[in-house]
Amino acid sequence: MRNTEQKILDAAVKVFSSEGYAGATTRKIAQEANVTEVTLFRKFQSKENLLKEVLIKNRHAISTLNHLLNVNKNVDIERDLCILGKEIAKDMQDEKKDSISYMFMFMLFEEGRRRPELAEILESVFKTNIDRLSEYFELQMKNGKIRNINARSAALTFVSYFSCSAFLRGIFVDYALSYSDKEVENFIDIFTKGILKVEKTEKVLEKEEKLQKLKEDIARKHEALNSLEEQVRKLEKE
C-alpha cells in the first residue's frame, strides 16, 4: 500500500517536471507509476491533491538552508559564508536529490501564482530559509563582525543569488554562470565587501591626523621624561 503511494508520488514528480501541470494528466502519471488510473484516484482523489501531496512530502528537502546552516559561527564571517555558499551550490546541483528537479520547481512557482494553497506551502519553505539566515546575520551584528544592517534584506540578497542562478541554469543549459568554488568565492567577496572603492573620508583623515599628533606628542613627552631622569641620576651621583 505504502509502496504504491510512493510509486505514484515519484511518477508525479517526473511527469510534472517534464510536462508541466497542465500537460501532466493522471493517465500519464498512472502509466509512469505502472498503476491503473483508478488506483491513482483512490489514493489521491485528484491531480491537484496529488501535486499538493508531492510538495508536502518534499517541503523539507527543498528547505536547503535549514539543514546546511551549521557552520561555525565564531570564525571569520567571510569564511562562514563561503562554506555555506559552496554547500548550497553543491546541494542545488544535485539533480537527483529527493527527486526534485529544476523543472519541477519552475512548475511549482507557476502553479503557486494560481493556487493559494500551494503558494502558502512554498512561502513557508522559503520563509524558513530566510529566517534562518536572518538569525545568522543578526548574531554576527551582535558579535560586532558586521555593521548594523537589515538582516532580512541581507538574507534575501544571499538566497536570491543562488535561486536566480539555479533558475537560469535550469532554463539555459549552457548558461555561463557555473557553481564552481571560484564563482561562489567571487560572489561572497562582492557580498561582504560591496562594489564601491573605499575612499578615506574627511572625517577619517582628520581622525588619523589627530592620532598621529597624539603619537608625536607622546614621543616628545617620553623624550623629555628620559632627559629629566638622566638629570636626576647625575644629581644623585654628585
Q: Where are the alpha helices (DSSP H) in 63-150?
A: 64-68, 77-93, 102-114, 116-142
Q: Which helix (H) or strand (E) holds 55?
A: helix 47-62
Which span out of 45-49, 141-145, 149-153, 197-201 was modeled with the highest average pLDDT? 149-153
pLDDT attached to residue 36: 92
pLDDT attached to residue 98: 43
Percentage of residues in the chain with pLDDT exceeding 70? 76
- The rounded mean pLDDT for the chain is 78
Average the pLDDT over 36-56 and give the result: 86
Which positions ≥6 away from 64 have C-beta within 8 Å? 88, 91, 92, 129
pLDDT attached to residue 236: 78
d(CA 223, CA 231): 13
Q: Assess whether pLDDT exceeds 80 at residue 217.
A: yes
Q: Assess whether pLDDT exceeds 70 at residue 149.
A: yes
DSSP 148: S
Biggest distance spanned by C-alpha atoms of the chain: 118
Does pTM top 0.85 for this prediction? no
Residue 58 cell numbers, joined? 518534499
Residue 180: band (very low, low, confident or very high) from pLDDT cuts 50, 70, 90: confident
- ∠ at Cα 169 (167, 171), nearest 5°? 70
pLDDT attached to residue 99: 41
Cα torsion angle, 87, 93, 98, 102, sign: positive
Residue 188: band (very low, low, confident or very high) from pLDDT cuts 50, 70, 90: very high
- Asked if residue 48 lies in contact with residue 20, where contact means CB atoms within 8 angstroms, the answer is no
Structure confidence by residue, pLDDT tens digits, 92-145: 665 544 445 566 777 777 777 777 777 777 777 778 778 888 988 998 888 888
- ∠ at Cα 141 (181, 65), nearest 5°? 45
Least confident of 123-137, 172-186, 196-210, 221-235: 172-186
Structure confidence by residue, pLDDT tens digits, 28-38: 999 999 999 99
pLDDT attached to residue 189: 92
pLDDT attached to residue 151: 94
d(CA 100, CA 182): 26
Average the pLDDT over 161-179 and give the result: 65
d(CA 18, CA 12): 10
